[in-house]
Amino acid sequence: MPPRTSKLALAGFISALSGIIVPVLGVIGVALGLSAVSRIRASKEPLKGKGLAIAGIMIGLISAVGFQFCYRAMKSPSNSMAPLINVNEGFIVDRKAYIVGTPKRGDIIVFAAEQNARKVLLCKRLVGLPNETVEIRDGGIYINGALTQVPHLPANDSYANAGNFGGLGQVIAIPEDSFYVLGDDPANSLDSRSSGFISRKDLYGKVLWTYAGLPPLEKIFGLMFTPWWLQNPSSFRNPASPRDPVPLPSPAS
Model pLDDT for residues 175-203, shown as the tens digit of each residue: 999 999 999 998 888 899 999 999 999 99
The domain made up of 76-246 is a member of CATH 2.10.109.10: yes
Domain ranges across the chain: 4-70, 76-246
Q: Give the model's pLDDT for residue 3.
A: 62
pLDDT range class, residue 250, cuts 50, 70, 90: very low
Contact indicator for 64, 70 with CB cutoff of 8 Å: no
Q: Which helix H or strand E contains 35, and what residues bound it?
A: helix 23-42
Please name which of 168, 201, 198 lies closest in space to residue 183, comparing C-alpha atoms.
198
pLDDT range class, residue 215, cuts 50, 70, 90: low
212 or 193, which is more confident? 193
Q: Give the model's pLDDT for residue 213.
A: 61
In this prediction, residues 44-55 reach a mean pLDDT of 81
Query: pTM above 0.75?
Result: no
